[in-house]
Each structure stands twice: as structure tokens, then as C-alpha cells.
Amino acid sequence: MLRKLNRGSMPFAAGLLLCAACATNPVTGDRQLSLISEGQEIEMGKQGAAQAEAQIGLVNDRALQDYVSRVGLSLARDSERPNLPWSFKVVDDPTPNAFALPGGYIFVTRGLLATMRNEAELASVLGHEIGHVTAKHSVTMLSRQQLASLGLGVGMILSPQLAQLGNLAGSGLSLLFLKYGRDAERQADDLGFKYALADNYDVRQMPNVFASLQRIGEASGQSPLPTWMASHPYPEERIQRIQEKLTALTVPVPTNAGADAYLARIDNMVYGENPRQGFFTGTLFQHPDMKFRMQFPQGWKTQNLAQAVMAGSSQQDAVMQLTMAQGTPEAAANAFFAQQGLQSSNVSRQTINGMPSVTGYFQAQTESGVVAGIAAFVTLDNMTFQIVAFTPAARMSSYEQAFRSSIGSFARLTDPAALNVKPNRINMVRITTAMTLDEFNRRYPSRIPIAELAIINEVANGSTRIPANTTVKQVIAAS
């Protein structure tokens, strides 16, 4: 028989669920909510890691990947969860970030590597991310989300059919955007300090990372990845807490910073955006290696990912996506328009700036309404490109001209300056006499502002005097 529940009470079955779902936290030893088994945690992380590698891309430097992996695995072996399938990789993103997926899959960007000066700093970053995994922060958050979904009946915002259009929903990359509470971040800091100290690293270097991130945060660029600053405690607080931990130590602090090995490993690494992988000038996208260009609508927000170029309207009610497709334009179009739940119209063969193409309109039903859009498939140099643009059906008339104009702008890249553009790279210079950073920059000019050069060399400003026999980072054009 049905019985009305008192306000604030919990159904008996839900109570049993919570009891059965309690597990012991490996770090604290306390009982905690866990609706996800370790096997499920690992599988989720594995899938998310595969998507992160595919959609963000890894730095193509085997020696660098092996180096970061060695540092991370050494820390993880002495953690509370040594038997997880730990993985440490460097993703090809220029913004300073690091993130951990469930099950021990940890990534650091080359942008963050560029800001640090020694292995001890790297160890503190990887230790922090290891701490998120060992303390099961993501598992706790995902369990709470599952519990909320059980009570509220939360469903997908987009239907599976629409998700196929741009892979915009249901992606394992959503794991990247879990925002931990500040208490969890503090705990991860404490664990990172603990792991680095246990592995004989000079933990006095840890505050340098927070200080650099604070300076970068004041003028940070955009990135498809979550930033360190989003939900972390203020850097000043983090620095103070680590200083207090250093003061409280009753054992000597190790002196192993590993500066020479670290700087040698990131020498010649790409710095900043790599234009060879495509770059935006305003909303004009140009790809030197694939030799194409495309103009997205003015005022739209844009992103260049490893497998897709994305643009979204300022009202956040329209999306365009450029990706690669399999086969001829006809074969790719047939596969796209044949998707279940998708209705097509006016599909026809055309040419776009002299290139064979197939273009058509489509509609798809979603749980939040009908979306409508245009899909085009264009061949350039035996490569087929897929351009998909869509918006709620009621707004299609407002965006149709912008969609068609952008699709029609797809063309071969012929500008010599764009075709021959080179990325910037880090170059290590060992100075034999003391000098200020300003003096260093006059002798060894960099392609970045002096304030930025000061940040990546961890000095206050251009007037800071650098001792003799110091290795200093210079940013130069690749040869």
C-alpha cells in the first residue's frame, strides 16, 4: 500500500541503496557514498581517456611522454591505490591545465609543462591529480549525480540521433568538466605534497606552480579544457597552506628538484598555439597542412580541436562543426542523411569554389524540440570534409544565410604567409654571466612579451637579475 512520506524522509528502498553503496575511502578510511564499482570507474576513465586523446590530441614526442609517465608512475606506486591502471600523458593544448579521469588516467598539457622549471614542480602537479583519483573525488561526484538522477528522472538533453550529428552529448569528455569542491582541491594539494615528498622531491618548489598559475590566470587564454582556476582555492591560500606544511615538517626537505633533466626534456617543445594544426584569425580558420580555409560567422565563439573545428553563436542557439568524413562526398552524405530519426530534404550535388560537394537540409526530433540544419560534404585533395550546421527549427530562418555563407566560404588555402607559418618553440640558453631578464631578452630575443617570458622563467619581471650558470627559456620561431 502507498504511504505518504514525511518531508525530508527517505524511501526505505533508497535507504537500502545508500547502505549498500557505501564504501571505504582509500585515503581517509571513512565510509562514503559509492554507486560506482572500481571496475566501472576504470572503464569510465578508459573511455574518457580514449576520447580525450582523440579529440584533444597527444604531443608527438615519445621521449617527453615517457618522461612524464615515469614521474607519474613513480608517485602512483606509493599511493593508496597502486594497482589502478595508471596512465600519464601530455595533451597537445597550449593552455596550462592538468586533469584526472576516474581510474587513474591523468593528463597534463604542454602549456602547463612550459610554465614549470623543474621535475619537482611536475611531481607536485601529477601528485595533485593522483590525489583526486586516490581520494575518489570523481567517483563521489558521479555517485551523487546518479543518486539525483534516480530521484529526479533526469534524461539526456539531446536524443542519440542528434548526438551523432556533432558528438555534442553523452561524450566521455564530460568527465573533464567535473568541478570538485574546494575542500577536495585542498585535499588533493595535501596528497600531492605527501606523494612528492615521499618520492624524495623538493616540495619547496610546489608553491611556484601556484604562483605561476595565478599570474597566468590574470591574462589566461581560452581552452577547450577546464582551467586550474575554475574551482580551486585562491592561489594565495594554497601557497600559505603549503608553507605551513613545510614549516611543520620534522624531517629535512629533500633537495631533489631535477631542473636540468626537466628543462632538457622540454627543450624545443612547441610553445603556444601550433598554427600547423590550423589557426583562427578572428573567425577565419586556416589550416596550412591540409591547405584549406573557412570563414565562420562573425561574432561566434570558436574552438580548434584535434578532430573538429567548432563554432557557436553568441546566443548559444546555433552550432557549426567541421570534421573529416569517410569516402566520397556522395558516400559520406548517404551515411549522414540515412541516420535513424533524421529527415533530409533538397540533397544535391554541387561545387563549392570548384570542389565537388553534396549539400542538403535536415531535421531531427530531440527531447527539447526539433532541430534543423544544413550538412555539406566537400572533397579537397582526396580528403572529404563534413560541415554540419544546426539550430532549433524555429530559428532556422534566422541562421540559414549565415550557415550557407560559411559553408560556401570553404576554399583552398593559397596565402603564402598562412601556408608557411611556423610554430614557436622553447629554446634553452645557459647564461655564463649574471644578467637581468631584460638584458637576456636583448641578447636572446623571444617572440613573446617580456611579461610572459618572466612567467615561464619564474622571475618577477624584466628587472629581475638572473644568476650566472642558469638555464633560461627563450621562445623562438621553429626552423
For the segment 253-283, what is each residue's pLDDT rounded down to a tens digit? 999 999 999 999 999 999 999 999 999 999 9
Residue/partner pairs of 20-28 with CB below 8 Å, 24 or more apart: 21/143, 25/135, 25/136, 26/80, 26/81, 26/134, 26/135, 26/136, 27/80, 27/131, 27/134, 27/135, 27/136, 27/187, 27/191, 28/135
pLDDT computed for residue 15 by the predictor = 42
H or E element at residue 297? none
The pLDDT of residue 22 is 57
Q: Is the pLDDT of residue 392 over 90?
A: yes
Domain boundaries, the chain: 15-265, 279-416, 423-477
pLDDT band at 226 (very low <50, low <70, confident <90, very high): very low
The alpha-helical segments, DSSP class H, found in 135-205 are 137-152, 160-166, 182-198
**pLDDT at residue 166 in the model:** 36
- What is residue 30's predicted lDDT score, i.e. its pLDDT? 66
Q: What class has domain 279-416?
A: alpha beta
What would the mean pLDDT of 453-458 be, rounded to a whole number?
A: 97
Task: Tell me how far apart the alpha carbons of residues 110 and 92 are, in angstroms, rounded to a whole number.
Answer: 6
Look at 17-31, 146-160, 405-419 and tell me which has the smallest mean pLDDT: 146-160
Q: Decide: 5 and 11 in contact? Cβ < 8 Å.
A: yes
pLDDT above 90: residue 158: no
Q: What is the pLDDT of residues 89-103, one digit of tens each?
A: 999 999 898 999 999
Mean pLDDT of the chain: 85
Residue 144 has pLDDT above 70, yes or no: no
pLDDT tens, residue by residue, 10-36: 343 334 344 445 567 777 766 665 567
Per-residue pLDDT of 231-249, as tens digits, reads: 466 788 999 999 999 999 9
Q: Which of 216, 228, 148 is CA-nearest to residue 182? A: 228
Mean pLDDT of the 172-184 span: 62
**Per-residue pLDDT at 444 exceeds 90:** yes
